Amino acid sequence: MDDVLPLIFELKKAGIVSRIVFIARNRKTYEFIKKNSVLYDAIYFVGGRFTFMNKYNNRYFNCLYNIFVLRRYLYKKIITIETFDVTKDQIISLLLAFNHKIFHGKRIKSLIINALYRLVKSVPIYRRAVSGDYEVIEKIIKGYDGILLASTIEEWNEAYNERLITDVQLIQVGYTRGLKEWQHYLHGITDRYMPEVVSTTYIFIPLTYLANWLTGEDNISPATLLKESLSVLKEFNNDILTVFKPNHNTDMDKFQEILKTTDYKNYIISYIHPLLLIKRAKFTFTYTPTSIVIDAYYNGCTTVEYAHYDSRFYKLNDGQSVYHSCVDFFIHRDVVKLKRVLSELIYNDIPVLRDQNRINEDFPILTQKEIKDKFGWLCSK
DSSP state, 83? Answer: S
Within 10 Å of residue 339's Cβ, how many Cβ atoms?
16
CA separation for the pair 104, 378 (Å, rounded)? 10
Please measure the distance between the N-terminal and C-terminal CA atoms of the chain and give it in whole angstroms.
27
So what's the pLDDT on residue 224? 93
Domain boundaries 195-355, corresponding CATH code: 3.40.50.2000
Name the residue type at position 30. Y
DSSP state, 169? Answer: E
Q: pLDDT digit of tens for each residue in the chain (381 aa)?
A: 889 999 999 999 999 988 899 999 999 999 988 988 899 999 999 999 999 999 998 988 999 999 999 999 999 999 999 988 887 788 888 999 999 999 999 999 999 876 666 666 666 666 666 666 667 788 899 889 999 998 888 888 877 778 889 999 999 999 999 999 999 999 888 888 887 667 789 999 999 888 765 556 677 889 999 999 999 999 999 999 999 999 888 999 999 999 999 999 999 999 888 999 998 999 999 998 888 999 999 999 999 999 988 887 788 778 888 888 899 999 999 999 999 999 999 999 888 889 899 888 888 999 999 999 999 888 876
Bridge partners (DSSP) listed for residue 79: 106
The residues, any chain, with a CB within 8 Å of residue 281's CB and separated by 6 or more, are: 202, 203, 204, 243, 296, 301
The residues, any chain, with a CB within 8 Å of residue 345's CB and separated by 6 or more, are: 282, 283, 302, 304, 329
In this structure, what are the phi and psi dihedrals at residue 362, rounded to the nearest 5 degrees? -85, -20
SS3 23: strand
Within 10 Å of residue 113's Cβ, how many Cβ atoms?
18
SS3 284: strand
- pTM given for the model: 0.88
CA separation for the pair 224, 199 (Å, rounded)? 30
